[in-house]
Structure 1
C-alpha cells in the first residue's frame, strides 16, 4: 500500500468527507449497539435472577429432606418430580447433606437433577455434580454464580440455600439469555455492516453531487494555470459559470472570488502588456532614430582623421575615442533594434543552415580575436542542418563565444560541440573558466545583466549578448539552457531540425 494512502492529509476532499461520515456512522452504531446490548443484558439478567430467586424460594419453603421434595425414584432409580416442581422452565436442584456428602434418595442415588416443565427429569453426571459442589462451596445465601455444566447441558445461574447441615443448590438455565444476546449482537453487527455499505455508496453519491460545483471551479482554475502568462498579450477567457457563483453558498463564494481575481489579473496583465509595448516601441523608435546620427558621428570622425593638415596628438586621440565609442554605441543600438524586432514577432528568414560550417567560421573568428584562449571544435562526421536565419544563428554562436572570451581568463579552453539528438540540433559551448555565480544564473539571460568582477571582465559589456541568444533561440522555436559551476560552464542551444512549428518537445538538458 502506498505510504500516501496512510496519510489522510493527502486524500481528496471527497475521500476525507466520506471517510469522516463513515467513521461517524460506525461510532454512532457501535455506541448505540453497545448501549442496547448492555441494557438488554441487564434486563435479561434481572429476569434471570428473579427466576432464580423464585426457584430458590420454592425450595426454601418446602421440605429439606429428599423425600419431602416430592421426589420418588422411578423404575431405573432416577428421581421423579412431584407437585413442587416449577412448570415455567427447567430448574436445577442438588441437595448436599452433611458437609461434603451428597444427599441420596431411597435408592442411594444422588439427588441431583434437572426438571423441565414439571414432567421431564434429567439426572446430572458425577462430574457435573462435583463441578456444582466445587463452585458453590464458598457461596453464601445472597450469592449467585454462573456454572457451565458442559456435555450439552449448558450454563446455569445457581444459588445456595442452607438449612442446618443441608445445602440445597438451585439453578436456572442461562441459555435463553445467552442466545438472545448472541442474536442481538449479530443483528447489531449485521445492521452496522449493511448500514456501512449503504452509507458508503449513498454518501459517495451525495458527496460527489454536492462537490460537483467545486470540481467545476477547480477545472476553471486549472485551465487558467495552464495558460502562458509571462509574455505577450494575455486573455483569460475562462471564468466560473454563473450557476457556481451564488454568494449564498460556500462554493459560490469561492467561484465569485475566483472570477474577481481573474478579472483583476487580466486587467493587470493587459496593463503590463500595454506598458511593455510602449517601452518596446520607444526602444525600436529610439534605436532607429539613433542609427542616423551615430552614422554621421562615425563619418565625421573618420573624415577628420583623413585631414592632411597637422592635428595635435590630443585632438587625434579624442577623435579616435569618439569614433570608438560611436562604433560601440552603434552596436548597442543594433542589438536593441534586433531585440525590439524579435519582441514584436517579426518573422525571421527560413532557409537550411549548415550549423557545422557556421560553427567552424565563428570559432575561426574567435581564435583570431582572442589567440590567448584555446578554441576547440567537436563536430559530427556528417553535416548538421537546421532551418533558420543564418545571420541570426551566426550571431547566437558569436555571442556565446564572445561571452566566454570576455568573462574567462587567458588560457581557458572553450569547446564548441554540435550534435543531432532526435528531431533537434544541440549546440554546446563549454569552457573550464571560473563559472557563473549561482545568484546570477537565474537572470543571466535577462537584458542588461552583466557579470561581476569575479568573471574577469576585460572590456565593457552591454549586457545584451545572452539576451539576444535567448531571443533568437526562442524565435526559432528553440531554447537555451545554462549549467555552471566552478571549472565548467556549458551553454546549450536547442534548435528543431524540422522547422519552427515542430511538435517534438525539446529534451531536458542533463
Structure 2
C-alpha cells in the first residue's frame, strides 16, 4: 500500500508539473496572439480615425455653411456610428452629430457632448465611453483649417478581440485536455518499471536478513534494468546492491559457521589437557599408590605446556585477525630458513633434512623475523609430525625480482584429496596416513597460523600433494614492495 501511494504521488506531481507547464505555454501563446492582434486592430482603427478627421476638415473647407454646418456627414463613405463635431478656437464643441444606422446624422445629447470635453486639438487619439453609443476612438485636429473632432466606434475591434480570446481559450482547453491525457498515459507507462523496482525493494525488505537462512532474494526483471533509461539504471543498481547483500550474508554464514566450529574445537582441545590435569591432581590428592607422584607431576607439567601452547596459538590468531601491526625490518630469508632447518634437524633426527638455495636476487623481505621464523618452523614441524621416520624433507629458498619463495617438500605418503582443500583451516586434523604416531595430529593450528602470518606480510601459502611428494610453498613480496602481484605461476 505504501508503494502504491508513493507511486501515485509521484505520478500526480509529474502530471501537475507537465500540466502547469502546458498551461503556462498556452497562456503565453494566447496572450501574445491577443496582444499582437489587438495592437494590429487598434492601429488600423487609429489610422481610420485620423483619415476620417482629415477628410472631415477638408470637407468643411469646401462648404459655405455657417459655423454649425456639419453637412459633410451626409457625404458618401461615412460609416454608421461616426461622430463628428466642429470646435471653436478654444476647443469647445460648437456642433456635433452622429451617423445613425439609416445613414442620417442626428445631434448628440448633452450627456454625449459632455463625454467629448477636454480633448485637445493635437492629433492625439483618445478612448472615450459615449453614453448610449459605446466606446469610441476619438481625435481632434486643427492645423491651418477649421478645428474638427472625429470618432469611430470600437465595438467591432472589441468584438473581434473577444472572439479571438474565446477561440484561443477553447483551443487551449482542448489542447490541454489532449496533452494531459497523453502525458498521463506516457507517465503511467514510464513509471511501470519504477513501480516494479519499488516492489522488488519491498520484497527484499521483508526478507529475514537479520536471522535465519536467507534464500535467493528477489531481483528486478532483466527488462527493467536497461541502462538507457533512468528506471533501468535504478533497477540495475538495485540488483547490484542485492548481489552485494547476498554475498555479505553468505560470508556472514560462513564466518559464523567457522566461528562455531572454531569454538567447538578450541573447547575440545582445552578440555582434554584440563581433564588430564584434574585427573592427575585428584590421584595425587588421594595419595593413591596407583601412580607415582613424580610421573603424575610430569604428566601435569606436560599437559600444562600443551594447554599453554594452545592458548598462545589462539591468542596469536586473535591478534592476527585484529590486524595488529607487526615489526617491520629487513629479514634475510636464507639465514632465517637455515636456522629453522637446523632446529628441525635437532628435533627430528630420524628424518633427513636438506637445504637448497636458488638465488637470482636478494632473498630479503620486510617483516617480523620472529613471526616469519614461526611460519617456517610450523611447516617443518608439520612435515616432521605427519611423515614416517626416514622421510627426506627438503627446504628451498628461491629469490627472483618478482617474489621470494620458501618451499618445504617431503617424500612422505602425501595428503588425502579429501583433506587437501581444508588443510589451512583452523583445527584441521591430519589423517593417520601422514601421522607418525597414532593420534598425534597436533592441535590443527600450525598451518592456520602460517597462513595468517604470511597474509599479514602480503604473501600467500599454497600446497601441492600426491603420494610420495608434498610441497608447501610460501610466497612473499621482496623488500621494498607492500604486496605480491597477481598470481602468474611460480
| Residues in 2 aligned to 1:301 and 1:153: alpha-carbon distance in whole angstroms | 132
- The answer to whether structure 1 residue 38 and structure 2 residue 19 are counterparts is no
Corresponding residue number in structure 2 for 1:146: 127
| Residues in 1 aligned to 2:40 and 2:250: alpha-carbon distance in whole angstroms | 78
Corresponding residue number in structure 1 for 2:340: none
- 1:213-243: CA deviation from partner (whole Å, max 9, x where unpaired): 1111121122112222234432233011122
Task: Give 1:231-380 correspondences, 5 Å limit.
Answer: 231-288=211-268, 290-307=270-287
- The answer to whether structure 1 residue 127 and structure 2 residue 124 are counterparts is no
Judged with a 3 Å threshold, the aligned counterparts in structure 2 of structure 1 residues 116 and 67 are, in CA distance, closer, same or farther, namely farther
- Contact 2:225–2:231 under 8 Å retained in 1: yes
| Residues in 2 aligned to 1:194 and 1:179: alpha-carbon distance in whole angstroms | 22
- What SS class does the counterpart of residue 128 from structure 2 fall into? strand
Name which of structure 1's ranges 176-185 and 214-223 shifts more when overlaid on structure 2: 176-185
- Contact 1:240–1:255 under 8 Å retained in 2: yes
- Contact 1:55–1:86 under 8 Å retained in 2: no
Corresponding residue number in structure 2 for 1:462: none
Corresponding residue number in structure 2 for 1:115: 99
- 1:107-149: CA deviation from partner (whole Å, max 9, x where unpaired): xxxx322104561434322122122022x1x340x31111111
Q: CA deviation at 1:174?
A: 0.9
- What SS class does the counterpart of residue 133 from structure 2 fall into? coil
TM-score (normalised: structure 1): 0.50
- 1:377-411: CA deviation from partner (whole Å, max 9, x where unpaired): xxxxxxxxxxxxxxxxxxxxxxxxxxxxxxxxxxx
- The answer to whether structure 1 residue 93 and structure 2 residue 84 are counterparts is yes
- The answer to whether structure 1 residue 53 and structure 2 residue 34 are counterparts is no
Corresponding residue number in structure 2 for 1:184: 164
Q: CA deviation at 1:194?
A: 4.2
Q: CA deviation at 1:173?
A: 0.7
Q: State the number of aligned residues.
A: 292
- Contact 1:71–1:81 under 8 Å retained in 2: no
| Residues in 2 aligned to 1:165 and 1:82: alpha-carbon distance in whole angstroms | 17
Judged with a 3 Å threshold, the aligned counterparts in structure 2 of structure 1 residues 11 and 120 are, in CA distance, closer, same or farther, namely farther
- 1:185-222: CA deviation from partner (whole Å, max 9, x where unpaired): 23334443444444334322220111111111121122
- Contact 1:99–1:165 under 8 Å retained in 2: no
| Residues in 2 aligned to 1:71 and 1:117: alpha-carbon distance in whole angstroms | 22
CA RMSD for the aligned pairs?
Answer: 3.8
- What SS class does the counterpart of residue 235 from structure 1 fall into? coil
Structure 1 gap ranges (5+): 1-8, 73-78, 104-110, 330-510
| Residues in 2 aligned to 1:17 and 1:53: alpha-carbon distance in whole angstroms | 53
- Contact 2:138–2:151 under 8 Å retained in 1: yes
Corresponding residue number in structure 2 for 1:25: 22
Corresponding residue number in structure 1 for 2:185: 205
- Contact 1:96–1:168 under 8 Å retained in 2: yes
Q: CA deviation at 1:171?
A: 0.5
TM-score (normalised: structure 2): 0.51
- What SS class does the counterpart of residue 133 from structure 1 fall into? coil
Judged with a 3 Å threshold, the aligned counterparts in structure 2 of structure 1 residues 86 and 178 are, in CA distance, closer, same or farther, namely same
- Contact 1:71–1:82 under 8 Å retained in 2: no
Judged with a 3 Å threshold, the aligned counterparts in structure 2 of structure 1 residues 241 and 167 are, in CA distance, closer, same or farther, namely same
- What SS class does the counterpart of residue 24 from structure 1 fall into? helix
Q: CA deviation at 1:34?
A: 1.6
Q: CA deviation at 1:267?
A: 2.6
